[in-house]
Amino acid sequence: MAKPTVVLLPVWGDGHFMPMIEFGKRLVRASGGAMSVTVLLMPAPTPQAGSDIADHVRREEAEAAAAADGGGGISFKRLPAVEIPTDHTGIDEFISRVVRSHVPHVKAAIEGLACPAKALVFDIFCTPALDASRDLAVPAYVYFASAGATLALFLRSPAIDEEVAGEFEEMDGMLDVPGLLPLPATSLPDTLLDRKMSTYEWFVYTGRRYMDATGFIVNTAADLEPSVLAAIADGRCTGGIPAPTVYPIGPVLALPSPPEQPHECVRWLDSHPRASVLLLCFGSKGVLTPTMVTAIADGLERSGHRFLWVLRGPPVDNRDGARHPTDAALDEMLPEGFLERTKGRGLVWPTRAPQKEILAHAATGGFVTHCGWNSILESLWFGVPMLPWPLAAEQHLNAFALVAGMGVAVPLKVHRKRGNFVEAADLEQAVRALMGGGEEGRKAREKTLELKAVCRKAVEEGGSSRSAFQRLYEEIHGGGAELSSKNESVKADKAEGHVKRATYAH
């Protein structure tokens, strides 16, 4: 009989696709080849996203083909194209509409598999795929590539929606998300800031539908976010109703061995003292406005510190609501004379850089990050304290957790109402605080080293993430997973109709 398979449904985007593939590879390894992984590929919506995914898939297929067992572990199945929405209000609505159109294809693909599907694991945007899992009676897990804090907010959002009248930004006081410090509305994801937008409805709908999942596989570690994970487990984020089990299995980081010939950025770092260089990198979609670029250049120049700045050019393809950067024309983007004046102590890199290798380098001593969760985990993994400059999505919430919760970052004043602008003087001051040897930077560095140890311990033999992964694997492999609808009666009894049936137009 064909070996059973776990079906993955990732979305495109670096911070989403690769962590999920990495998780799939771990499942295959854990099963010793007794289980396979089938990745369902939704066609990417833009040529750039398409070519990124095609590159990843080619690499994985080549690796699988070269494997000793002939590569039966991980395979990719392409789903048919669907109509791409052009009238969406942003990336979250765009993705959820695309996924909704794919539900019949997901169902048909699972039904057409030559081997039994043990579980369906889907991205945070793929909630509509819960319908396919229910119809086919296959347990469904959410692969949550962001922080436990964001998961708590999703789960709490249906109740907050009822508790707070008017826009969150206009309310007095803070929001209560159990397990987190009182949360200012200014730290909420963009999606929640305008109730009139359909993306707001999407967020609350998602939070509600998550209760129908079998479990959450979260790229975090139990000791990295202990209080929020405990609050979810105790049902405190869901009004006393038990939430699906959380499996904190992280940090899941793809850490390939460094290339034989080090990247130019890494070679440049070789010539600088230990912990002296500040990295600035804004993720795979980080695009800065011309005024931001000028402010950064001024702030860095005035700070006098060493820096490696990954600066990308304006996007060309915006069809999916995300902003995919291009290679930067540095002479056109930077203030005149900046490169000459900072020569020797600064490098501006105009295209994608090997962020993990840079963070791993001893010369890197600080990181101005857009607060994508993968970047945060990578920074902690290599023990590099941060300056948070959130730009979109849930990044403001991550920034809040970094500064107020974990203490691994020095705050940076980001003007959210001015398009996340930072004044040059504020950047200069924050860079000095982080890199200049003062008390604030020292504390953040010390705390970062503590959490570096926590991250590494979690994934060691016997560590909490290893154990969580093992429990998850046994549940999936042993067939002990509850179907998503199995909890329904308990939830309905407890909620006495409080949990509304989820309906959402997209």
Ligand X SMILES: COc1cc(-c2[o+]c3cc(O)cc([O-])c3cc2O[C@@H]2O[C@H](CO)[C@H](O)[C@H](O)[C@H]2O)cc(OC)c1O
- Which sequence positions are flagged as catalytic? 16, 123
- Which of ligand X, ligand UDP, none lies near 11, with the C-beta cut-off 5 to 8 A by kind? ligand X
Touching ligand UDP, residues 359-378 (CB under 6 A): 372-375, 378
Is 132 or 333 the residue whose CB approaches ligand UDP more closely? Answer: 333
Q: Which two tokens stand for residue 371?
A: 């607060």
User: Which listed range, 107-115, 187-195, 243-251, 283-291, lies at the site for ligand UDP (CB under 6 A)?
Assistant: 283-291
- Give the residue, chosen from 203, 247, 381, 473, that forms a contact with ligand X under the rule CB under 6 A: 203
Residue 281, binding choice from ligand UDP, ligand X, none, Cβ under 5 to 8 Å by partner class: ligand UDP
| Strand, helix or coil for residue 394 | coil
| Selected range binding ligand UDP among 215-223, 230-238, 348-356, 495-503, rule: CB under 6 A | 348-356
| Stretch of residues binding ligand UDP (CB under 6 A), selected from 55-63, 328-336, 349-357, 453-461 | 349-357
Amino acid occupying residue 258: P
Q: Is 476 in the site for ligand X (CB under 6 A)?
A: no
- Whole-angstrom CA distances from 297 to 330, 360, 364, 448 are 12, 25, 19, 27
Going by the DSSP 8-state scheme, the letter that residue 284 receives in this structure is T
Supply the DSSP string of 144-181, one letter for each residue. Answer: E-S-HHHHHHHHHHHHHHHH--S-GGGSSS-B--TTSP
Cα–chain-centroid distance for residue 106?
23
Q: Quick one: which of 46, 374, 429, 448 contacts ligand X (CB under 6 A)?
A: 374
Q: Is the dihedral of CA 63, 64, 65, 67 positive or negative?
A: positive
* 353 sits near ligand UDP (criterion: CB under 6 A): yes
Three-point CA angle 69, 463, 213, nearest 5° = 75
Q: Which of 156, 272, 356, 506 binds ligand UDP (CB under 6 A)?
A: 356
The CA distances from residue 378 to 2, 45, 251, in Å, are 37, 28, 8
Size of the site for ligand X (CB under 6 A): 22
Does 15 engage in binding with ligand UDP (CB under 6 A)? yes
Q: Are strands 326-327 and 312-313 parallel, antiparallel or unpaired?
A: antiparallel
Which residue minimizes CB distance to ligand X?
15
Q: Which one, 243 or 392, has the nearer CB to ligand UDP?
A: 392
Span 310-329, contacts to ligand UDP by CB under 6 A: 310
Of positions 73, 128, 158, 189, contacts ligand X by CB under 6 A: 189
Judged by beta carbon, residue 23 or residue 373, the one nearer ligand X is 373
Q: How far is the CB of 325 from ligand X (least distance, A)?
A: 12
CA 80-83-84 angle, to 5 degrees, is 110
Cβ–Cβ under 8 Å, residues 458 and 250: yes
C-beta of 91 vs 269, nearer to ligand X: 91
- Out of ligand UDP, ligand X, none, which partner does residue 203 contact, by CB within 5 to 8 A per kind? ligand X
| Site map (CB under 6 A) of ligand UDP, residues 235-274, x = contact | ----------------------------------------
- Residues numbered 71 to 110 that lie near ligand X (CB under 6 A) are 91-92
- Which of ligand X, ligand UDP, none does residue 24 bind to, with CB < 5 to 8 Å depending on kind? none
**Residue 356 phi/psi, 5° resolution?**
-65, -40
- Regarding 283 and contact with ligand UDP (CB under 6 A), the answer is yes
Cα separation, 117 vs 115, whole angstroms: 6
> To the nearest 10°, the Cα dihedral for 451, 447, 144, 372?
-130
User: What b/e readout covers 262-273, taking b as 16+ CB neighbours within 10 angstroms?
Assistant: eeebbebbeebe
In the complex with ligand UDP, the residue whose CB is nearer, 237 or 281, is 281
275: alpha, beta or left? (left if phi > 0; alpha if psi -120 to 50): left
Question: Applying CB under 6 A, which part among 62-70, 367-375, 428-436, 443-451 lies near ligand X?
Answer: 367-375
Q: How far apart are CA 194 and CA 167, in angstroms?
A: 7
What is the number of alpha carbons within 13 Å of residue 283 lying toward its C-beta? 27
Query: Which pair of structure tokens corresponds to residue 28?
Result: 């295959």
Please report which helix (H) or strand (E) contains residue 53, including its range. helix 47-66
Pick the piece of the chain touching ligand X (CB under 6 A) from 8-16, 20-28, 264-272, 471-479. 8-16
Residue 299, classed as helix, strand or coil, is helix
Cα–Cα distance between 257 and 255 in angstroms, integer?
6
Q: How many CB atoms lie within 10 A of CB 135?
A: 12
Between 379 and 487, whose beta carbon lies closer to ligand X? Answer: 379
Cβ nearer to ligand UDP, comparing 375 with 487:
375
Using CB distances below 5 to 8 A depending on partner kind, what does residue 155 bind out of ligand X, ligand UDP, none? Answer: none
Q: Nearest-CA neighbor of 86 among 325, 288, 317?
A: 317
Q: How far is the CB of 506 from ligand X (least distance, A)?
A: 14
The item of ligand X, ligand UDP, none sharing an interface with residue 352, based on CB under 5 to 8 Å by kind, is ligand UDP
Which amino acid, one-letter code, is at 83?
E
Question: Could you list the residues that contact ligand X (CB under 6 A)?
Answer: 11, 13, 15-16, 91-92, 145-146, 150, 189, 191, 203, 283, 285, 322, 372-374, 392-395
Site residues, ligand UDP (CB under 6 A): 13-15, 281, 283-285, 310, 352-356, 372-375, 378
